[in-house]
Amino acid sequence: MKKTKSVLGLCLLLFLGITACTSENVRNTTTISLSPAESTITPTEIVPTSTPGVGKDDSTVVWAVHFSADITEEAQKEIKGLLKAKGLDINIEFLPTSYDCGREYVNWLDKQKEKNTAPDILSGCLWEHGTVDAAAFTSREFLPLNQCLKSEEGQPLRDAFANVEWEKYTINGEIYVIPVRSTKEKEPLIYLYVNDKYKVLFEEIFDGTYESLKMLCNADDANPVIALSGMGQTLLMTMGGYSKGFTSFNPKTKQFVDLTGQDEIKEILKTVYSDYQAGILVDAGTPEHLPENVSVYIHKGRLEPMEGFTEYVWTEDLFTTSAGVGYGILASSPRKELALQVLSACYSDPQIASLLNWGKMDASEWNRRTENLKSCAPSILTGFLPDLSIEEKNAAIQYDDDLDVLCRKMYLYSNGERTGINPDYEAYLDQFFSNSRDYGNLFDDLNKQFAEWGKKR
């Protein structure tokens, strides 16, 4: 179980889908009904190879709920009720799955197939090496959805997500799983909540750098400070002008870069640590802990609107290719057409879609996110999927761990909670950067493959 939780944490850190965008360094963010029809889907990619599960008739769709999802029994009842209100007379059996990942998940599915009890809808699962492994699994086991999404029955599902989301979940030209949207609190983007007292000045001086942000601290005699919800690798990359895309990526040079070998990264961390020591930076895990003289609150993930503050996005979403825990249709299911009808009905309804993704009904937030995403464009990384050796995959995980530790070491902890600033952090930085780890051919191979892929794009 401990191993499974570790794999889950690694996969979520490395490859979780991002769900907001901006084409500039900073962006101010303030300011269907489906009726059942005769099936028109005739997928030709895969011929059914199994028979319906024991005790299951042709009107029952079995949906295997992945353990990382939050489709509670209450949410399942609400989903069924909403579908019934639409006149969709299909029985959905939500089937819980075990805490299996990777090969264990494959073994579970193989056993279900042997017993003729395999689900019709299931997740792409979490994998030790994230999207790279998930893509191989989904392309082997799942029904390609491209033609289905072009059909009359699949069009509502196609329209429910933005083009950039579908492109993010396209593997070698094919779509196998439904896009995943994280909750706004778990968006791996850095948000700035600027005190309206300093809003005009912020928009005049902020150029996307931490140094320009610090200029707000000299705005007046109130000695304004910057509040931080904690230093992590996403914020570190943002401060250095990098983005998260398989590893750390420089959008300007279009190169994957080992940050543990960059003096500028060490200097950024030293500056942040020094600013903590000087009282320019203060730690605030939640908005309730913000001091009265805060000029800007730096937070990973989007918060509820804060009175007296204006929200901005600091990071740029690269829409890196993903193929993880999204739901798809088992290629060998004898009820593929019915399963598509269920997915289309569910995800084209903002109430159901938010329940499926977030475990709670929030149609307004779902619609806001849809509108925002439909204004976004793919990045130079969207569609790229590297072919890495086992050694390189493991090196990528080790690199991700190293960056996490590098940031966590800035703090002292008690029972998992930050309690202060580590007085020995500067010594740790010197030791870390003077003995940086060798990640083998990981970055060279990533850059070589990315350059070759770019020429064929």
Domain boundaries, the chain: 49-182+324-373, 185-319+416-456
109 in Cβ contact with 14 (< 8 Å): no
Confidence (pLDDT) at 2: 40
Confidence (pLDDT) at 56: 55
Confidence (pLDDT) at 160: 95
189 in Cβ contact with 22 (< 8 Å): no
User: In the numeric block, which tokens belong to residue 147?
Assistant: 């033609």
Confidence (pLDDT) at 185: 67
**Residue 347: pLDDT above 60?**
yes
- When pLDDT is averaged across residues 398-423 and rounded to a whole number, the result is 94
- Find tokens 């400070």 and name the residue: 225
- When pLDDT is averaged across residues 56-72 and rounded to a whole number, the result is 80
Q: How far apart are CA 107 and CA 101, in angstroms?
A: 10
pLDDT tens-digit series, residues 243-253: 988 899 999 99
Confidence (pLDDT) at 127: 83
pLDDT tens-digit series, residues 178-190: 999 887 767 778 9
Laid out side by side, the sheet with 60-65 consists of 91-96, 60-65, 121-123, 327-329
When mean pLDDT is compared across 95-104, 351-360, 445-454, the lowest value belongs to: 95-104
DSSP H or E run through 411 = strand 411-414
Paired with 192 in beta bridges are 298, 312
Length reported for the chain: 457
**Residue 17: pLDDT above 70?**
no
Residue 327: phi and psi, rounded to 5, are -90, 145
Nearby residues of 167 by Cβ (< 8 Å), 6 or more positions away: 319, 378, 382, 383
333 in Cβ contact with 113 (< 8 Å): no
Confidence (pLDDT) at 25: 40
Model confidence band, residue 76 (pLDDT cutoffs 50, 70, 90): confident
**Residue 54: pLDDT above 50?**
no
Q: Considering the domain 49-182+324-373 in this protein, what is its CATH number? A: 3.40.190.10
**Residue 195: pLDDT above 60?**
yes
Model confidence band, residue 71 (pLDDT cutoffs 50, 70, 90): confident
Confidence (pLDDT) at 72: 81
Confidence (pLDDT) at 178: 95
**Residue 336: pLDDT above 80?**
yes
Confidence (pLDDT) at 129: 78
pLDDT tens-digit series, residues 139-170: 999 999 999 999 988 899 999 999 999 999 99
Classify residue 249 by burial, with Cβ atoms within 10 Å: 0-12, 13-18, 19+: buried
Confidence (pLDDT) at 348: 94
pLDDT tens-digit series, residues 21-44: 443 344 443 332 233 233 333 333
